[in-house]
Amino acid sequence: MKARIRVGCASAFWGDTSSAAAQLVEGGRLDYLVFDYLAEVTLSIMAAARMKAPAAGYATDFVEVLRPLLGEIARQNIRVISNAGGINPQACAAALQAACTAAGIPLKIAVLLGDDLQPQVQQLAANGIQEMFNGAALPAHCVSTNAYLGAPGIVHGLSLGADVLITGRVVDSALVSAALVHEFGWSWQDYDKLAQAALAGHIIECGAQCSGGNFTDWREVPDYEHIGFPIVDVSADSHFIVSKPEGSGGLVTPLTVGEQLLYEIGDPRAYLLPDVICDFTRVRLVQQAANHVSVSGARGSAPTAQYKVCATYPDGFRCTANCLMAGIDAVAKARRVSQAILDKTTEMLRARGWPPYSEVSSELLGSEATYGPHGRRQDSREVVIKLAVRHPERQALQLFSREIAQAATGMAPGLTGILGGRPAVSPLIRLFSFLIDKSACALSVHLDGQVHAVALPAATALQAVAEDLQPPRPEGRAEANVALVKLAVARSGDKGNHSNIGVMARHPEYLPWIAEALTTAVVVDWMGHVLDPLHGRVERWYLPGSHSLNFLLENALGGGGIASLRIDPQGKAFAQQLLEIQIPVPQHIADRLA
């Protein structure tokens, strides 16, 4: 058994840079290289591709990126794990095998199956499956239905000697935690170590987001052009250090890692994964050396007996048009033109006996539309009109696509035309999430023509009770206001139709003042323009180990992902909006930050 294992992540999503893998292979001194490709709606895109071509449905980037690196990967004995298989893992493995054969490099490629529940959809519907957030019934026609598997199947494949392990849908962190469980021989009941392993995976699963990408203090990050992709160096006791290849760009500090710690989580006391329930509230981040951050303190408890499953289904059609409006009173002109287009086409739908639009979204980009009532810029001399509409019938949106062009000659001056030409009509895909007993998924590893069944480990019945942690109250008197960005960094992301905003104090002294000011009521008021008026709500949790707060904004994304008509369907800019809020602090803190 090795004393330490080094794992690097070369991809955060399908379409990430092709340069990261070579950087990590050449300069990372890795034991494992992982690639994460799957977002919540990616599988529906892959499913559509496979319907057109039986050999499609996986991340083709994976094979193309690995092709020139196969020799070096074999020479260094780097093992590769990826969910690049998407909806068609066996086709992905076949394509990679062909590349290995052509290069004369005999890597053993294994495939993990068992996540794809699409063949069982009719039976699931008959069993009365309900959406886990709103209780809705499973739609009649699903495009994809995949369970979020954990690490055991990957571990089994590694134990069989696989050099490359390709999966379909697994939780992102399992790509890393499986390597650690395999190498260190940890028990499936050693939940604190499993929580640390999951945290290591969570921190690097989004690639450069923990090494300077998407960081609040972007001015401090050097060399975006050659940003370093992350590496976790993990010891057998589960403590790990986050770093990046020597000489690469980017930045690794407690704040860059802390933003990623908080990214896309809900309750930090109970981050639910198939193999462990994680408690991140006591996680500590310490700068060990330049671009080296030590991470410790995650705790774990027994997982539930269920997998989360995400199905995607078509819900009518969508069409989005973008037009540039320039000149005097551009905002006012754009507002009138966008409303006129909607009113005119709505009348035309009615005249044809068609129902009205199911949903409309009108945003003026350049007028601070994403800020809602907090926007201050109404005097811009150029804005982009973004009109998005949804309708159950394709032909209704084809009419919309045709009719918007008339605005260029028949409405206000300064409309320069439709950006990108007439907009296309496309299916609108929604997410449907539910829980299912793990026994419903038959896991198997396919290697060298053999099929190996995977048995899940038994979980203990004991689960931890979440602590009700409250931040300390501030001492002294607030005498001045400063922007939150001076006191904290923040990052936001999405989970379905929910968004989180993680806020990490720059200094422990600031946290009580931030917590006193940023109540859930204040955040509801500040971010009310994105919250669903009926079902939107905000929850808050305190993480004392990292001097952080995490906010979950439920039903805040207009449907989320590709179902949302908004310009920010994943809440990526929510943290930027919150960072402008004013926080009352003592004068000595205000003077220090002036």
Q: What's the pLDDT at 462?
A: 66
Q: What is the pLDDT along the chain (594 residues), one digit of tens a residue?
A: 789 999 999 999 999 999 999 999 999 999 999 999 998 779 888 988 888 899 999 999 999 999 999 999 999 999 999 999 999 999 999 999 999 999 999 999 999 999 999 999 999 999 999 999 889 999 989 999 999 999 999 999 999 999 999 999 999 999 999 999 999 999 999 999 999 999 999 999 999 999 999 999 999 999 999 999 999 999 999 999 999 999 999 999 999 999 999 999 999 999 999 999 999 999 999 999 999 999 999 999 999 999 999 999 999 999 999 999 999 999 999 999 999 999 999 999 999 999 999 999 999 999 999 998 998 878 899 999 999 999 999 999 999 999 999 999 999 999 998 888 899 999 999 999 999 999 999 999 999 999 999 999 987 766 677 788 999 999 999 999 999 999 999 999 998 899 999 999 999 999 999 999 999 999 999 999 999 999 999 999 999 999 999 999 999 999 988 889 999 999 999 999 999 999 999 999 999 998
- Taking only the tens place, the pLDDT of each residue in 405-433 is 999 999 999 999 888 889 999 999 999 99
359 with 367: CB under 8 angstroms? no
pLDDT of residue 233: 98
**Residue 311: Cβ-neighbour burial (10 angstroms; 0-12, 13-18, 19+):** buried
Q: How far is CA 57 from CA 14, 47, 84, 165, 263, in A?
A: 12, 6, 9, 17, 28
Per-position DSSP letters for 476-524, written without gaps between them: S---EEEEHHHHEEEEEEEETTEEEEEEEESSGGGHHHHHHH--HHHHH
CA 350, CA 356: separation in Å to the nearest integer? 7
Residues 6+ apart with CB under 8 A from 209: 12, 259, 260, 263, 491
Q: Is the pTM of this model over 0.85?
A: yes
Q: Map residue 5 onto helix, strand or coil.
A: strand
Residue among 188, 195, 190, 117 nearest 154 (CA): 188
Structure tokens at 251: 């930045």
In the chain, % of residues over pLDDT 90: 91
CB-based burial, 451-490: b 16+ in 10 Å, e otherwise: ebebebeebeeeeeeeeeeebeebeeebebebebbbbbbb
- For residue 404, which of 391, 392, 421, 390 has the smallest C-alpha distance? 421
Give the closest residue to 459 by CA, choosing from 198, 276, 251.
276
Share of the chain above pLDDT 70, in %: 99
Instruction: Report which DSSP code applies to 465.
Output: P
Q: What is the pLDDT of residues 101-125, one digit of tens each?
A: 999 999 999 999 999 999 999 999 9
Q: Which CATH code fits 315-430?
A: 3.30.70.100
What is the spatial distance between Cα 276 and Cα 385, in angstroms, rounded to a whole number?
46
The Cα 483–Cα 507 span in angstroms is: 15
pLDDT tens track for 246-296: 999 999 999 999 999 999 999 999 999 999 999 999 999 999 999 999 999
Residue 63 CB partners (closer than 8 Å, separation 6+):
84, 92, 95, 96, 99
Measured CA to CA, the distance from residue 163 to residue 105 in angstroms comes to 11
Judge residue 411's burial from the number of C-beta atoms within 10 Å of its C-beta, 0-12 exposed, 13-18 middle, 19 or more buried.
Answer: middle
Can you give the C-alpha Rg of the chain in angstroms? 25
Ordered by start, the domain boundaries in the chain are 4-114+149-303, 315-430, 480-593
H helix or E strand, kind and range, residue 325: strand 306-326
